[in-house]
Amino acid sequence: MSPGPTEIEDNVLEAMATKGTNPDLDPAFYERYKGVVSKYNQLIGTQNATSLLLAGEAILGLEAACSSTIEPGDKVLCISNGFFGAGFKGFIEMYGGIAVLVESSWHRGVTVEDIRATVEANPDIKLATMVHCETPTGITNQVAAICQYLHEKNILSIVDSVSAIGGEKVSFDSDKIDILLGGSQKCLSAPSGMTLVTLSDRAIAKMKQRKSPIVGYYTNLANWLGWYDRKWFPYTQSLQNIYGLEQAIDNLLKKDAVAEHSEYAVKVRKVMEVNGLKLYGQTELSNTVTAVMIPNNLDYDLFFTYLLEEHKILIGGCLGDLKGKVFRIGHMGANNKQDNFVILFKALDHAWNHFNLGTSCFESSFKEL
């Protein structure tokens, strides 16, 4: 029940276990890849954007987006209200950009008002980076409002939606997003090892109009342009991961996945609050992950080990200053099953008893919802 990699459905594992082909030589594979892209585009609300399924963890997508679009000297707004938002600064600077950091509270979502003054004071900003769902803190940022505002200001947006796609509403076209980054192993519940990159025409134009060459090969998204017409991929595709991803996307498209995520998110938060636990976030709480303050008298490492060894449950901890202070429940993708939550909450009741934390009613309060 951690915030990714999440549980993988059997039909996804079965899809991965089918025989492959030679993806470089077989024309049918190019059609299949195109089909997966078009299903993915449906999931993220775009008609014509260019989506690429890259072999590599989601960090590859974050780095590739920066390496392909940022030129030395470009001013880049780095919107941060958490670990991943702040982390973009490193990529911006690695590729010669000048990061203009705008930081807001980690306990709530970023708003247009948080960035307006900085944008207006820096009319030469060309790009902006932001995170849709800050997985470590369980906050979902207002991607639609912010990207529409950035678009009006002629600023290209790079959005890390790794832990949101499939669990939060994403409308690539109407939200005016320029580069959307997803990972296979969070709400999509596909095997880890793929990053999904979607480019608007403006993002492609920025790559084509560069004065300096893109540094790197694996992170050079321009290498992918025209792959279908050329019947050529920059490197050999991970067949079985793509087969698994396709089935995982089919699983999500069959239901109202965002509503399902929202339903479990609300339930998890209620159960935490009924049991006297404080959430880390105050507003804009995520559909996909809940970050909970650890009671003062509970040692996180002992708690984690107890749940794993006694109940075979993995929950998430946190990073940096929040290490040992926050634990996280991933209500993402195929984790979202009634039985999984019953097992989790029963285990929390046992843990409360084991660590003498007083009476608790995790399981019963969940079942009453």
Ligand X SMILES: Cc1ncc(COP(=O)(O)O)c(C=O)c1O
* Footprint (CB under 6 A) of ligand X, residues 330-369: none
Query: How many residues bind to ligand X according to rule CB under 6 A?
Result: 11
131 binds ligand X (CB under 6 A): yes
Q: Which residues of 304-318 are buried (b: 16+ CB within 10 A; e: fewer)?
A: bebbeeeeebebbbb
Q: Name the token pair of 340.
A: 């999984």
Find the shortest distance in angstroms from Cβ 18 to ligand X.
Answer: 24
Nearer to ligand X, 15 or 194 (CB): 194
Using CB under 6 A as the binding rule, the residues of this chain from 302 to 331 that contact ligand X are none
Q: By the 8 A CB rule, do 174 and 45 touch?
A: yes
Residues 6 or more apart whose CB falls under 8 angstroms from that of 257 comprise 166, 167, 187
Taking CB under 6 A as the rule, does residue 187 contact ligand X? no
Determine if 183 is a binding residue for ligand X (CB under 6 A).
yes
Planar angle of CA 324, 326, 332, nearest 5 degrees: 130
Q: Which is nearer to ligand X, 1 or 351 (CB)?
A: 1
Minimum CB–partner distance for residue 78 and ligand X (Å): 14
Based on the shown chain and the rule CB under 6 A, indicate whether residue 65 belongs to the binding site for ligand X: no
Residue 79 Cβ, how far from ligand X at the closest point, in Å?
Answer: 13
By CB under 6 A, tell whether 263 contacts ligand X: no
d(CA 205, CA 140): 29
- Least Cβ distance, residue 59 to ligand X (angstroms): 4
Q: Is the preceding omega at residue 295 within 30 degrees of 0, hence cis? A: no
Q: How far is CA 112 from CA 109, 116, 336, in A?
A: 10, 6, 32
Comparison of 4 and 244: residue with beta carbon closer to ligand X: 4
- Minimum CB separation of residue 187 from ligand X in Å reads 11
Minimum distance between the CB of residue 151 and ligand X, rounded to whole angstroms? 22
Q: Of 51 and 81, which has the nearer Cβ to ligand X?
A: 81
Are the CB atoms for 312 and 333 separated by under 8 Å? no
DSSP 267-295: HHHHHHHHTTPPBS-SSSB-SSEEEEEPP
Instruction: Candidates 135, 157, 238, 288: give the one binding ligand X (CB under 6 A).
Output: 135
In whole angstroms, the minimum distance from the beta carbon of 259 to ligand X comes to: 22
- Of residues 139 through 168, those in contact with ligand X by CB under 6 A are 160, 162-163
User: Is position 84 an interface residue for ligand X (rule: CB under 6 A)?
Assistant: yes
Interface characters, 31-60, with ligand X (x: CB under 6 A): --------------------------xxx-
- Pick the closer one to ligand X by CB: 161 or 237: 161
Residues 135 and 163: beta-carbon distance below 8 Å: yes
CA distance 162 to 310: 31
Please give the Cα distance from 247 to 74 (Å, whole number).
40
Q: Going by C-beta distance under 8 Å and a sequence separation of 6 or more, which residues neighbour residue 212? A: 71, 72
- Neighbouring CB atoms inside 10 A of 76's CB total 26
CB of 312 to ligand X, least distance (A): 22
Q: Is 80 in the site for ligand X (CB under 6 A)?
A: no
In the complex, which residues of this chain contact ligand X (CB under 6 A)?
Answer: 4, 57-59, 84, 131, 135, 160, 162-163, 183
